[in-house]
Structure 1
Amino acid sequence: MPPRFRSAVSAALIALSSLLVPFGALAAWASYGLADTGRYVTTMAPLSADPDVRNAVADTVGAGIMREVDHKFDGRPVRGSVGPFVHDAVHSFTQTEAFRLAWDAGNRATHDAVLRALRDEHDEAGLAGGPVTVDLAPVTAQVKQQLAEDHVPLADRIPVEHTALAVLPAGELAGLRKGFHVLEVAGFWLPVAAVVFAVAGIALAVHRRRAVTATALGTALGGALLGVALAIGRRLTLADLPADVSRPAAGAVYDALTATLHTVAWLLIGLGLTVALTTLLTRYVRLRRLARRRAAEAKVPAPSRARV
């Protein structure tokens, strides 16, 4: 194979490998991080202590309870007497161990429901054309118990209904299911392809040391692009939220879910720059030693020819 052709193919493979680095990291994160219920619940667990998340949950649950109260009492004027107690009790409830347990249970139930719908093409919700839902009755029951223990008036009359909260719209289920299946495949093959292309590019290179440096710099660039994509994704995600959704709470959730990706991005940048710098320093030291050896050889006088 001609050297020029080898260099061109090597450069193309290394460039392709660098391009696949951020996409491979995203696909692997979605496939092995978000798609694992245990990891998801563990990632979300610390948010139960986040003030913004607590306030958002308290406002949502409190509003839901008051809607049930209004419906139960058929519009009779009880909101003014019960509302402040409900508000204070729900906010107090978010600081208890019971809330942390309910938070983990709710996240686990939600994640299981979504995964079941995405992985099972014969899911009942999908066949019926309805959304994927989660029952909020356990959380309402725990809040009701807390209100009763605090001796809030009419707390024992708060209805505990099996309220279905839609977490995945029916119209988006088919498209999300196809995308999820693609991610499951890409989560394995994209990182493998990135490594294979990098190794092949280095092996085909005429100057392998330069190829290693280029691959390392490409890896660092891929990590930087991943970090930029996460920052842009955060801004776009928060900008598209409905007006009634707490942006600080949503930002906290986004940061928690993408914390692993941020770590991966910095690791790629650090690893790539370290390898590139090490390769350049090794080449510099080798060239210096070679220059010194040649200078030393030039100072040694040539041996005199023996006279015949």
Structure 2
Amino acid sequence: MPAPVRNALSAALIALSCLLVPCGALAAWVTYGLADTGRYVTAMAPLAADPAVQGAVADTVGAGLVQEVAPRLGDELATRDEDGTVRPFVHDAVRSFTRTEAFRTAWEAGNRAVHDAVLSALQDGRNRTVTVDLAPVTAQVKRRLAADHVPLAQHIPVEHTEVAVLPAAELNRLRKGYDVLEVAGFWLPVSAVVLAATGIAVAACRRRALTATALGTALGGAFLLLALAVGRRLTLADLTEAAHRPAAGAVYDALTQTLRTVSWLLIALGLTTALVCRLTGSLAQRRRPPAAPAADPPPHPTRART
């Protein structure tokens, strides 16, 4: 095969491989990171100590508790809340609960329950609304509030009510994407490696092809970091409550921490490999013996004069 054809084929294979690098990393992260309950719970566990997350939980749970109790007590709640002390007190009590070890246990249990419910719904193929029973978490909150002598804490209902976490319409779209990513999470990285190896093998100058592959890999990692930053900005911009954006940002950062680490590793690996190829190429040129000067042509024999 002529050298120009080999170089063109090598460039096409390497370019396709570099395009698959960020896509493969993203698909593998979803398949082997987010879809794994243990890794998901481990990633979310530190957020139980995050002040922004604690504040968001206190706001949401406190408002939910007051709203849940209000229909049951009616005038009693209104009478006891005329001076505006019940609701802030409930909020402060819930905020205090978020700083306890019991909240961390409840946080992990709630995340595990939600993740298991969503993952089971994605895999069983049934068209249904995903629900989860959070009664054990509510029971822990109630016991804590009662121990702190919070007004009306004993009236908080602890019922095994199925709470909807994902509607059926959203489940169908999510299931289609999950099925695609489950296949892509394995085959995209493998295809990227095979294409890169083939492109380097067929190149007329393999050191140059390896350098191009390394730089393309680093560029793919940088593109993935940019995509994560844009995704974070768009995710927070879609939130209607600005007060909860710090908590949402903390959750986003916790879930994408592994993907950001992979992106930086791709950048470091690509740049290091390209630098090594450059240095080895320079050393090879220096060690190459200089070309011997061309020998002078032999003189033409002259005929003796008579």
Fold shared per TM-score above 0.5: yes
By how many angstroms is 1:243 displaced? 2.5
Instruction: Please give the alpha-carbon distance, in whole angstroms, between the structure 2 residues aligned to 1:53 and 1:184.
Output: 30
User: How many Å separate the matches in 2 of 1:187 and 1:160?
Assistant: 41
Cα deviation, 1:36-71, whole Å, max 9, x if unaligned, reads: 000000000000000000000111111110011101
Decide which of 283, 286, 289 is 2:284's aligned counterpart. Answer: 286
Match of 2:180 among 179, 182, 185: 182
Match of 2:134 in 1: 136
Write the letter of the residue equivalent to 1:107: N
Secondary structure of the structure 2 residue equivalent to 1:167: strand
Q: Distance between the aligned counterparts of 2:67 and 2:160, measured in 1?
A: 14
Radius of gyration: which is bigger?
Answer: 2
Match of 1:103 among 97, 104, 107: 107
Deviation at 1:81, TM superposition (A): 4.9
User: In the TM superposition, what is the alpha-carbon distance from 1:207 to its structure 2 partner?
Assistant: 0.8
- Alpha-carbon distance change, 184 to 67 in structure 1, aligned in 2, over 3 angstroms: same
- Tell me, yes or no, if the aligned pair for 1:212 and 1:279 is still in contact at 8 Å: yes
When normalised by structure 2's length, the TM-score is 0.91
Matching of residue 150 in structure 1 with residue 148 in structure 2: yes
Deviation per residue, 1:117-167 (Å, 9 max, x gap): 111113xxx2xx4x2122222222111111111122332222223343322
Q: CA, structure 1 residues 164+60, in 2 after alignment: closer, same or farther (shift >3 Å)? A: farther
Q: Distance in 1 between matches of 2:204 and 2:88?
A: 76
Once superposed, what is the RMSD of the aligned Cα atoms?
Answer: 1.8
3-state SS of paired residue (1:95): coil
- Structure 1 counterpart of 2:107, one-letter code: W
Percent identity reads: 69
The residue number in structure 2 matching 1:232 is 230
User: Which aligned pairs between 1:14-33 and structure 2 lie closer than 5 A?
Assistant: 14-33=14-33
Shift of 1:29: 0.1
Q: 198-207 vs 155-164, which deviates more? A: 155-164
Structure 2: distance between partners of 1:83 and 1:232: 38
Deviations 1:94-136 (A, max 9, x none): 00000000000000000000001111113xxx2xx4x212222
Report Cα offsets for 1:151-186 as digits up to 9, x if no partner: 223322222233433221221111111110111000
Q: How far off its partner does 1:244 sit?
A: 6.9
Matches within 5 A, 1:201-220: 201-220=199-218
> Which sections of structure 2, spanning at least 5 residues, go unmatched?
297-306
Aligned partner of 2:74 in structure 1 is: 74
| Matching residue of 2:239 | 241
CA distance in 1, matches of 2:75, 2:230: 46
The answer to whether the 8 A contact 1:202-1:208 is kept is yes
Give the match for residue 192 of structure 2. Answer: 194
Asked if 1:4 is matched to 2:4, the reply is yes
Counterpart of 1:85 (choices 79, 89, 104) is 89
Unaligned runs of 5+ in 1: 303-308
Contact 1:238 1:247 in 2 (8 A): yes
Residues 185-241 of structure 1, C-alpha deviations (whole Å, 9 max, x = no match): 000000000000000000110111100000000100110101101001100111112
Q: 1:117 aligns with which of 117, 121, 127?
A: 121
Is 1:48 the counterpart of 2:44? The answer is: no
| Deviation, structure 1 residue 87 | 1.2
- The match for 1:305 is none
Aligned-partner residue type, residue 59 of structure 2: D
Equivalent position amino acid for 2:98 in 1? T
Report the residue type matching 1:116 in the other structure: S
State the alpha-carbon separation in 1 of the partners of residues 221 and 165 from structure 2.
32
1:244 and 1:236 mapped to 2: Cα distance? 13
* d(CA) in 2 for partners of 1:84, 1:248: 21
Q: CA deviation at 1:75?
A: 4.9
Q: Separation in 1 of the partners of 2:285 and 2:85? A: 84
Q: Secondary structure at the match of 2:290?
A: helix
Distance 1:172 1:245, change over 3 A: farther
Equivalent residue number for residue 267 of structure 2: 269
